[in-house]
Structure 1
Amino acid sequence: MVDVTELNPGQVLESSVVTPNGRLLLPGGMTLTREHIAFLHKWGIARVHVQNQEGEPAALDQDLINAIESYLTPFYACNDIEEPVTRAVYEHAVKRLALKCQQGWTIPRKEPNLPVNDGNLLDSFYAGEFSLKDLVNHDVELSSFPDIYFKIHRAINSPHSTAEYLAGIISKDPSLSAKLLRIVNSPFYGLTSRVDSITRAVALVGVNELSTLALGISAISAFKDIPGELVDMRSFWTHSVAVGVLSRHLGRDFPEISGERLFVAGLLHDIGRLVMFRRLPAISTEAIIYAQSNLLPLVEAERDFLGFDHGLIGAALVKSWKLPQYLAHPLGGHHREDCLGSPMTAMVHLADFLAIAMAFSQKGSLIAPPLSPSACKTAGLTPEKLENIISGAEEEFENIVDIFFAKGRG
């Protein structure tokens, strides 16, 4: 992909440019003019795919393709790579990583990064002497949530709350306000003019929509004291952002489902795993080693070692932590086949698969969970729809990750 700031008149778009809401801005194959480039700037588009000077996509070296396929194939160990959607995802992943390599990205080494318990990782319970309920009750630390979370939560649930009141609450938290404004001004929304106040953001985006984003972002700060031996928190939240952005794009054909709710469901889909790491670090270490050594998704190892998985922990946390109730089903069911008839849950399932299979991010599980055909049917995902979903999500993903992790910028 090429930064819009580096475009020149005469270059040709390799693929169509669409907004996060699916609006076509410029079709693939169009020769760019100065007006087109200015138009992309106006819409907040950061990067686009362009053809090389000969008008064809740059040829990819076969040795590079072989190296990428060798790197990617283990991600699909639990999937049938000849299944149509899976095959299309794999081909898009190979192309995506090849383009990244041409831009300077280096294929990671294959050595597993396995955690080691040197005796300092102690579980809060003895093996076999706890239940899911015990684990969740032991981790009800509402005091670790920031005050802004509770203020927003009360405002949302108050029949007397107004848009101005909510904007006033959010505006008093500089860090949260900065993140929200950067998201509102990013390709996530594709607004044509800059928004410089929370009051204006609420008016343009909507009270429910902005408050949903605010809750999701503020909830993240509650997850502290996670053993670094088990998970790199930046990698964890990078994966979570990818799932949130992909969920939102998968939901474009479902206007009745809030894009913000889909994003937050994806953002928080693995919070049960963080509780598992915090309260059961020793067992979690064994599960991670077992999963990576046997090329299994981590969720399967969780079930083998605990008798339940992080999804069920997440669903229980929704109730204990008084998170919005709509999160319970996607958090609890994104790895359960019997729950994938729900569009929101199916989209989080598919987004989780895509984030790993497309190598958007790396996390504790490097093996993509089995792709559910029923989830594809529920969400209407076909091979033909993948390109727009992936290309649109990738640009948003890079912007949101920058917003979450940029130093000194909220």
Structure 2
Amino acid sequence: MTNAVTFKILEDIARDLSSDEITFPTFLDITFQVRSALKDPNLSVEQLAKLVGAEPLMSAKIIRMSNSVALNPSGREIADVKSAIVRVGMEAVRTVSFAVAMEQLLKSKQMQPFENLSQRLWEHTSHVAALCRVLARKLAKINGDEAMFSGLVHDLGVFYLMSRAANFPELVNDKAELHALLVGWHDNIGHALLSALGSPESVLEAVRDHETDREISTVSNLSDVLYVANKIANRSSCWRDPELDGAVDTSVLDTLFDAETLAEIIDESEEEVQSLKAALGG
């Protein structure tokens, strides 16, 4: 019975994502507004600040991020949205808009049946986002903001599938089937959603492949950064249920780093990880 429900959800999603005019989930509304605004090459900081200022949660998160240890090494605090945007950069607003959208979804009434899973998912997501920024700067020498954005949205498919599954009580009550749906389909569906939202190809590729086990010898691009950040986070804050899925294989970390080097990376980045996690999920 439940397999038929799973098939129906996937069929409905496939139909939605292949249509000419995609109807985005309500929880992505503010993200869509920000995305549309950022596409304007003439958008000013003042205009973006006005859009952000109309959403209290976004305002608070932008200011919190601008004052995080990661982005404010001088310790000089900022209290207004415009100054915060100048410090974090206009592209960081995109990241925060997704953070607000996903956090609000997880706190919504429809997601109450998934409360424990939601908490684990958000902890994992914010941890990966922060680790991505750290790894991008320390190892790959690539854009930290794009890396953090990739980390934040890498499990967007899980959020989306949970929001759809909430409408099917029989699936909500079948934890094993629900878990199989989330694990098996979240990367492809997240890729399709982000593609429809016009995300850069580098982000799409990284999200599509973040669960694909492979051997890597160096962390040199965005896909590597997200893959490794996800593995590190899975050791301490995995959203999957080990009783339903078994432990996630993170052995690639032991072949990529010796124990001392990995410990140093984690220790050196811990303050920044905690700071950015607080800013994104506070």
Give TM-score scaled by structure 1 length. Answer: 0.54
Q: For 1:318-345, what per-residue CA distance to the aligned partner results, in whole angstroms no more than 9, with x for missing partners?
A: 1234455543111111122579797211
Q: What does residue 286 of structure 1 align with?
A: 176
Cα gap change, 1:227/1:311 in structure 2, threshold over 3 Å: closer, same or farther? Answer: farther
The residue correspondences of 1:149-228 to structure 2 (distance < 5 A) are 149-192=31-74, 193-208=76-91, 210-220=92-102, 221=104, 225-226=110-111, 228=113
Cα distance in 2, alignment partners of residues 247 and 265 from structure 1: 8
Letter in 2 for 1:353: K
Match of 1:317 among 176, 193, 213: 193
Relative to structure 1, the CA distance from residue 399 to residue 122 in structure 2 (aligned partners, 3 Å threshold; closer, same or farther) is farther
Separation in structure 1 between the aligned mates of residue 39 and residue 95 of structure 2, nearest angstrom: 15
Looking at structure 2, the residues matched to 171 and 276 of structure 1 have their Cα atoms a distance apart, in angstroms, of 30
More helix by share: 2
Partner of 2:155: 270
Aligned residue identity for 1:159: P
Which residue of the partner structure matches residue 130 of structure 2? 245
**Contact 1:249 1:392 (C-alpha < 8 Å) held by counterparts:** no
How far does the alpha carbon of each residue in 1:121-179 deviate from its partner, in whole angstroms, 9 at most, with x for none? Answer: 9836359x8497347559x5425045542332122111221222222221222211111
Task: Tell me, in whole angstroms, the C-alpha distance in 1 between the residues paired with 2:23 and 2:249.
Answer: 30
Helix, strand or coil for the counterpart of 2:127? helix
In 2, Cα distance between the equivalents of 1:213 and 1:289?
27
Letter in 2 for 1:369: D
Whether 2:274 is the aligned partner of 1:368: answer no
State percent identity of aligned pairs: 21
Q: Distance in 1 between matches of 2:154 and 2:27?
A: 18
Q: Which amino acid aligns with 2:38?
A: I
Q: Which of residues 256, 260, 269 is equivalent to 2:145?
A: 260
SS at 1:123's partner residue? helix
Q: Is the 8 A contact 2:129 2:150 kept in 1?
A: yes
- Gap runs ≥5 in structure 1: 1-118, 292-297, 303-308
Matched with 1:331 is 207
Secondary structure of the corresponding residue to residue 239 of structure 2? coil
> What residue identity is the alignment partner of 2:128?
V
Q: Any stretches of 5+ residues in structure 2 without a counterpart?
A: none
Q: Equivalent residue for 1:233?
A: 118
In structure 2, how many angstroms separate the alpha carbons of the residues matched to 1:290 and 1:249?
31
1:396 Cα deviation (Å)? Answer: 3.1
Deviations 1:78-99 (A, max 9, x none): xxxxxxxxxxxxxxxxxxxxxx
8 A Cα contact 2:53 2:59, kept in partner: yes
Return the alpha-carbon distance in structure 1 between the equivalents of residues 156 and 250 of structure 2. 20
Mapped to 2, the partners of 1:347 and 1:274 lie a distance apart of 22
Q: Residues 277 and 323 of structure 1: is their aligned pair in 2 closer, same or farther, counting only changes over 3 Å?
A: same
Q: Offset of 1:237 from its aligned partner?
A: 0.5
Report the Cα distance in structure 2 between the residues aligned to 1:255 and 1:168, rounded to whole angstroms: 35
**Distance of 2:116 and 2:98 partners within structure 1:** 21
Closer, same or farther: CA 273–147 of 1 in aligned 2, 3 Å: closer
Letter in 2 for 1:169: L
For the residue of structure 1 that corresponds to 2:273, the secondary structure is helix
Is the 8 Å Cα contact of residues 227 and 278 (structure 1) preserved in structure 2? no
Q: Deviations over 1:338-375 (max 9, x none)?
A: 79797211111111111122x2x2422442234447x9
- TM-score norm. by structure 2 comes to 0.75
Letter matched to residue 350 of structure 1: V
Q: Secondary structure at the match of 2:73?
A: coil
Is the deviation greater in 161-170 or in 269-278? 269-278
Give the aligned partner of residue 105 of structure 1: none
Shift of 1:394: 2.5
5 Å-filtered alignment, 1:47-58, equals: none
Is the Cα contact below 8 Å between 1:123 and 1:279 reproduced in 2?
no
Does the 8 Å contact 1:184/1:195 carry over to 2? yes
Specify the code of the residue in structure 1 equivalent to 2:90: V
- Aligned equivalents of 1:339 and 1:315: distance in 2? 22
Give, in whole Å, the separation in 2 of the partners of 1:121 and 1:237: 27
CA deviation after TM superposition for structure 1 residue 182, in Å: 0.9
